[in-house]
Amino acid sequence: MRYLQYRGGEGMLAWAFHRISGVAIWAFILLHVLDIWLVGANRGLYDDVLKFYASPVGRVGETLVGAALLYHALNGLRIIVMDFWPATTVFHKQLWYASWVVFVVVGLPGAYIILRPIWAGAS
Amino acid sequence: MAVYTPSGRARPHGSGFELGVWYLMRLSGLALFVLALGHFSITHFFFDPANETSQWIVDERWGSVLWRTVDWLLLTMVVLHSFMGVRTVVQDYTHGGARTALTMLLYLTGIALFLMGTMAVMTLPFPVK
Amino acid sequence: MRIDHDALVIGAGGAGLWAALELARAGVSTGVLTKLYPTRSHTGAAQGGVCAALGNQEEDHWEWHMFDTVKGGDYLVDQDAAEVLAHEAIETVIELEHMGLPFNRTPDGKIDQRRFGGHTRNFGEGPIKRACFAADRTGHMILQTLYQSCIKAGVQFYDEYHVVDLLFEGGEGGDGGRAAGVVAYRIADGELHTFGAKAVLLATGGNGRMFSITSNAHSLTGDGMSLVYRHGIPLEDMEFYQFHPTGIYGIGILLSEAARGEGGTLLNADGERFMSRYAPKAMELAPRDMVSRAIYLEIRDGRGAGPKKDYVYLDVRHLGRAVIEEKLPDITEFARVYLGVEPLTEPVPIQPTAHYAMGGIPTDLRTRVVRDEANTVVEGLFAAGEAACVSVHGANRLGTNSLVDLLVFGRRAGREMAAYCRAAEAPSIAADVEEPVRSELEALRTRPEGESPSALKAELATLMMDNVGVFRTAKMMATAVAGVAAIKDRYTRVRVRDTGRIFNTDLLEARELGYLIDGAEAMASSAIARTESRGAHSRDDYPERDDVNFLAHTLAYRGEAGPSLRYKPVTITRFEPKPRTY
Amino acid sequence: MQVDLRILRFDPERDAAPHWESYRVEAEPMDRVLNLLTTVKAEQDGTLTFRRSCAHGICGSDAMLINGRNRLACKIRVDQLGKKITVAPLTGLPVVKDLVVDMDTFFSKYRSVMPFLIADSPAPERERRQSQADRARYDDTTKCILCAACTTACPSFWAQPSYVGPAAIVNAHRFIFDSRDDAGDERLEILADKDGVWRCRTIFNCVDACPRGINITRAILEVSRAVVERSV
Ligand SMILES: Cc1cc2nc3c(=O)[nH]c(=O)nc-3n(C[C@H](O)[C@H](O)[C@H](O)COP(=O)(O)OP(=O)(O)OC[C@H]3O[C@@H](n4cnc5c(N)ncnc54)[C@H](O)[C@@H]3O)c2cc1C
Ligand code: HEM
Ligand code: SF4
Ligand code: F3S
Ligand code: FES
């Protein structure tokens, strides 16, 4: 695709990640609503699904979903700030960097909490 | 696009729909910032999936009207936001008939999902204490 | 293909666009042909301002403006034309504002004005703020505003149609024929189109590309001038070509006179404000010919800066960041981008750059093209803008007066043409009128052997720069005349390398070289014959102005063995010629 | 120094598809890409086709894709790009030949936003007054030279060529926020169309590409905010 030739800057990356993360979470939501539906429809099956979520693979997956959600949420906030205060577009790159700082500060401990049971031996 | 008429003024074609979607994405985005991040934090940081059996859900979480309301709000917002978001993506990369078909499919899935989620959150009987 | 309109406007710079606007408003069926998209026209490059005696900043009168124009042009100006210019400048600038032009504003919300070279209060007493401006993007705003107004009025544009020939009915333009239309080459597919019309306006701009250091766009190749010249109509005052003092060193990109209008100074290698030697009163705001000559003399006398000692400095550092960034943002950026110089902290290397053709297609006050010293009108043919010579600029144009010229005479052209179209019959055009130019283009396109047009063009530009520049001597001009003749001969054997039909810029550039050669020929021959110094025409062997023999316009007619020259008297109404000091 | 210049060439009369050609060119660091193109055309291949006019960034003729970003060839210098330079036509508009693209749809979008002053009050004898603050309000967007660098750098436009595009919105902004203009409402109505401002996803490629340094995204968001405010 010729479009891949374009060397976008921060703004383009921010958007690409936003879009990818948005669609990824959407895909997860499809599953997630289905599995919640099982709570009413077929509890046994739901508990099996939960076991998967609690497994190491499930935890890594959850972490990725969390990362996508966190990035998407922070960048979504950045977009909303610019939407309502267009003058802040001057600092769009700084806003993006700031959202990454928050991403790391919140995300690393979060990932640690989710992933720890893998090596700590979950109950 | 609106067509320019040389006589002076153009004939606008604007409709309120896209404006509505724009609003919806922002407002639901803001709501989700609290609801979705909150939900994720609670289910992963304060509890652990390993402990969240269906029994736990039914007893603890959906034992309160407040939590049912919060969960249902989350469901509403997430379905609205994510499906309208994916609609944007679909409309960006498809054309003509495929676009209409996919958009319709998307809407239907969205409605179905919303109903299923609502069933789960709202129709289960409260646990008898 | 054949397309008919009542009126045709060739060129979509300031002059062409305003004419088109008047025609559209008058309900005349009009087509605007331009070899560039209209917004690419070089009017958009004009920076400093457009003059009108609005008196927004200090008392002003159009008579003062008229006087400055006449004196600035070293009395070669036709004074009736200068009167029209100065007088109508006011209403056209106001009308532009009404069309939406975003002028800078005074604190009370009026159009802001600033100083420019040669514009004075009370017939020469001291500098005056007369130039209306929009930062240093005045031309850009004029071009945009006029294009926008044309869109609003529903003007029909033929974008990227290159006009390659003029059509006449009942004989050549030079022998009493009347304009009947044009032949245009559609760049997109190489098709020739015949456009029929009752009235044709040439607003094709200047020809600065015949010089190697120039502020002019690549597209400024004097097409309109050359086309009339080829049809027996003379070119007027071609020897008067303006060199702007402050071009970016080595490249020629313009740094507007507005820099000096706002208080910028010129320094030589010793850091001295050398203008005190040449124009003690007006200093840097003396007319352009004087400033360019002063720079040339400084360099000649060894006071130039740089390794080759061949430039001087424009210094704006003392103006402060606010003035520089608000009123001169673009030229500041030019210095940064093209020289890597920071004007806030460093002086900018500059040298004179070929800038503006005072001469061109002779017209009367009503913008009708005339073909001899008796002002015999070529029916249906009009010209305006830099391509034309109504002679409001005489021997030297004042800064900001060109944009006024476009507005005033562009508007007049539109109105005249509308009136003319109402009365005139549609001309009849034979079926094979495209043939001569088609075979010329085909010959060029298909010639298997020959030399490169781009090399030849570079040779021409160097020849003209070195020999018909700021200072001229008999020997240099003789070199130029002979050199141009030789290049003209070699031109008949050039070969283009692109033989395609779609967007063949190689072919069109070669065609344009032919136009440049015509202009250079008329310029060199007119120059060598004028044995005096006046305005921009300055020669060492005749350093004085000679009003007895040369208070006259040159008319150069194309001839087999080089141009033949005739002279036409200057119209003098209010101001008797006086020595010109500043 | 020697520069490796790669150009995406396409001649519809000869080629089935675009293809890359390489040229070695002698250049100075302060040279601009336009100098290189001119040199190639003059000395190596006269069929190389591109638009240019002013050669100093003011006419908007020569926007192209240079080292992966939209730039004016006459304004981007060799020292800013390095020894390997690739040049391709603008993305998203039909290629006519080599670096020349068809600009018609671009200009028709410009025309669609009513880019001209509409003042309903009768014109006064002298100029309409405008305060310096009101004049400053729309200064940024008066600088546009319609080079199309922004619109053709926009992924949203690549995806949906029906998007009116940043350039047209910039030019609408220029009038919507002009205190002398009375047709802001109509322009907002046009831009509230589904191919209007909503298609902007704040990607900022346009801002990066704009040779005039216009904060395009800001202008777009100001317009969309005006649409929003008008609706409440
Ligand atoms: C850098 C610079 C700065 C300047 N600053 C000022 C200033 O501050 N104040 C001032 O008063 N003056 C200034 N001038 C001078 C002034 O801008 C020009 O003289 C003026 O803009 C010329 O306008 P025009 O309408 O005659 O032609 P242009 O604007 O040059 O337009 C020519 C038109 O003719 C078309 N054309 C040409 N040949 C053909 C053909 N064969 N077929 C079809 N179309 C053709 C072109 O496409 C174009 O549309 C400046 C000039 C330059 C170069
Ligand atoms: C948590 C807080 C969230 C915020 C603040 C937020 C914000 C936003 C905003 C402002 C947009 C519009 C972007 C634009 O128009 O350019 C958007 C788009 C989108 N969002 Fe969210 N969102 C959030 C959560 C979610 C969730 C949970 C999902 C998925 C389930 C999601 C899926 C999407 C999708 C698919 C898009 C469209 C992407 C695109 O157009 O490129 N968002 N979001
Ligand atoms: S906004 Fe900038 S990039 Fe876009 S067309 Fe105008 S000048 Fe070019
Ligand atoms: S690149 Fe496109 S998405 Fe918006 S910010 Fe610029 S118009
Ligand atoms: S040639 Fe005019 S903008 Fe580059």
Q: What is the CATH number of the domain that holds D215?
A: 1.10.1060.10
D37, two tokens:
């193109």
Residue D111 C-alpha, separation from nearest chain B C-alpha, in angstroms: 7
Residue D47 C-alpha, separation from nearest chain C C-alpha, in angstroms: 5
**Which residue in chain A is spatially nearest to D159 when comparing CA positions?**
A3
Give the least confident one: A44-48, B122-126, C332-336: B122-126
Task: Please report the pLDDT score of residue B128 as a whole number.
Answer: 62
**Which residue in chain B is spatially nearest to D160 when comparing CA positions?**
B92
ipTM score of complex = 0.94
CA Rg, chain A, in Å? 18
Task: Please report the pLDDT score of residue B5 as a whole number.
Answer: 41
Q: Are residues D32 and D55 in the same domain?
A: yes
Of the pLDDT bands very low, low, confident and very high (cuts 50, 70, 90), residue C408 is very high
Interface of B with C (CB under 8 A): 4, 6-8
Q: Are residues D109 and D161 in the same domain?
A: yes
Residue among D67, D158, D224 minimizing CB distance to A3: D158
Share of chain C above pLDDT 70, in %: 100
Q: Has residue D76 got a pLDDT over 60?
A: yes
Give the least confident one: C91-95, C220-224, C321-325: C321-325
Task: Please report the pLDDT score of residue A2 as a whole number.
Answer: 65
The string of pLDDT tens digits covering residues A99-118 is 999 999 999 999 999 999 88
B1 touches chain D (CB under 8 A): yes
Q: Has residue B11 got a pLDDT over 90?
A: no
More confident position, B1 or C327: C327
Task: Please report the pLDDT score of residue B1 as a whole number.
Answer: 31
Sorted by sequence, the CB contacts under 8 Å of residue C432 that are 6+ apart come out as: none
Mean pLDDT (whole number) for D4-27 = 96
Q: Is the CB of D146 under 6 A from ligand 3?
A: yes
Q: Is the CB of C12 under 6 A from ligand 1?
A: yes
Show which of D101, D131, D162 is a domain's final residue: D101
Q: How far apart are CA B81 and CA D123, in angstroms?
A: 49
Q: Are residues D85 and D141 in the same domain?
A: no
Nearest Cα to D46, choosing from C36, C160, C217, C509? C509
Q: How far from each other are the two terminal CA atoms of chain D, in whole angstroms? A: 60
Q: Are residues D64 and D171 in the same domain?
A: no
Identify the residue whose C-alpha is closest to ligand 3 atom 7. Answer: D144
- The neighbours of chain A, by the rule of 3 or more Cβ pairs under 8 Å, are B, D
Q: Up-side HSE of residue C395: CA atoms within 13 Å toward CB?
A: 29
Q: How far, in Å, from the CA of C368 to the mean position of ligand 1?
A: 19
Q: How far, in Å, from the CA of B50 to the mean position of ligand 5?
A: 65
The string of pLDDT tens digits covering residues C236-271 is 999 999 999 999 999 999 999 989 999 999 999 999
CA angle C280, C137, D100 (to 5 degrees): 130
Mean pLDDT (whole number) for D77-101 = 97
The string of pLDDT tens digits covering residues C508-538 is 999 999 999 999 999 999 999 999 999 999 9
Task: Please report the pLDDT score of residue C199 as a whole number.
Answer: 98
Count CB-CB contacts under 10 A for residue C377. 16
- What is the distance, to the nearest Å, from the Cα of residue D110 to the centroid of all Cα atoms in its chain? 11
Residue D57 C-alpha, separation from nearest chain B C-alpha, in angstroms: 29
Identify the residue whose C-alpha is closest to ligand 2 atom 9. Answer: A76
More confident position, C447 or B129: C447
- H helix runs in chain D, sequence order: 33-39, 104-112, 132-137, 155-159, 165-176, 184-191, 205-209, 216-231
Residues of A in contact with B50 (CB under 8 A): 50, 54, 117, 122-123
Show which of D72, D101, D130 is a domain's final residue: D101
Q: Has residue C29 got a pLDDT over 90?
A: yes
Q: Are residues D7 and D97 in the same domain?
A: yes
DSSP-based three-state secondary structure for C20: helix
Rounded (10°) CA dihedral A10, A11, A15, A16: -40
State the residue range of the domain holding D118. 104-231
The string of pLDDT tens digits covering residues B17-67 is 999 999 999 999 999 999 999 999 999 988 888 888 888 888 888 888 899
Residue among C104, C137, C148 minimizing CB distance to D135: C104
Residue among A6, A15, A83 minimizing CB distance to D221: A83
Of the pLDDT bands very low, low, confident and very high (cuts 50, 70, 90), residue C162 is very high
Q: Are residues D118 and D131 in the same domain?
A: yes
- The pLDDT mean for chain C works out to 96
Show which of D101, D128, D151 is a domain's final residue: D101
Q: Has residue B8 got a pLDDT over 60?
A: no
Assign residue C11 a region (left: φ > 0; alpha: ψ between -120 and 50; beta: otherwise). left
Q: Are residues D141 and D91 in the same domain?
A: no
Give the pairing type, strands C388-389 and C361-362. Answer: parallel
Residue D39 C-alpha, separation from nearest chain A C-alpha, in angstroms: 25
Q: How far apart are CA C369 and CA C388, in angstroms?
A: 8
Q: Has residue A23 got a pLDDT over 60?
A: yes
Residues of B in contact with D227 (CB under 8 A): 19
Q: Which residues lie across from C131 on neighbouring strands?
A: C51, C114
- The pLDDT mean for chain D works out to 96
Q: Has residue A121 got a pLDDT over 70?
A: no
**Which residue in chain D is spatially nearest to C41 when comparing CA positions?**
D59
More confident position, C187 or B7: C187
Q: Are residues D93 and D131 in the same domain?
A: no
Cβ–Cβ of D46/C111 closer than 8 Å? no
Total domains in chain D come to 2
Q: Which atom of ligand 4 is nearest to the CA of D217?
A: 5
Q: How far apart are CA C580 and CA C396, in angstroms?
A: 12
Q: Are residues D155 and D67 in the same domain?
A: no
Rounded (10°) CA dihedral A100, A101, A107, A112: 130
The string of pLDDT tens digits covering residues D197-225 is 999 999 999 999 999 999 999 999 999 99
Q: Are residues D225 and D122 in the same domain?
A: yes
Task: Please report the pLDDT score of residue A76 as a whole number.
Answer: 97
Count CB-CB contacts under 10 A for residue C165. 21
Task: Indicate which residues of C carry an active-site annotation.
Answer: 288
C130, two tokens:
């007369």
Cβ–Cβ of B92/D164 closer than 8 Å? no
Q: Has residue B4 got a pLDDT over 50?
A: no
Mean pLDDT (whole number) for D67-86 = 97
CATH number at residue D58: 3.10.20.30
Task: Please report the pLDDT score of residue B9 as a whole number.
Answer: 43
Nearest Cα to C288, choosing from C19, C538, C27? C538
Sheet (strand C552-557) strand order: C235-236, C552-557, C564-569
- In eight-state DSSP terms, residue C311 is B
Residues of C in contact with B8 (CB under 8 A): 152
Amino acid letter, residue C276: S
Q: Are residues D136 and D122 in the same domain?
A: yes
Q: Are residues D213 and D110 in the same domain?
A: yes
Of the pLDDT bands very low, low, confident and very high (cuts 50, 70, 90), residue C175 is very high
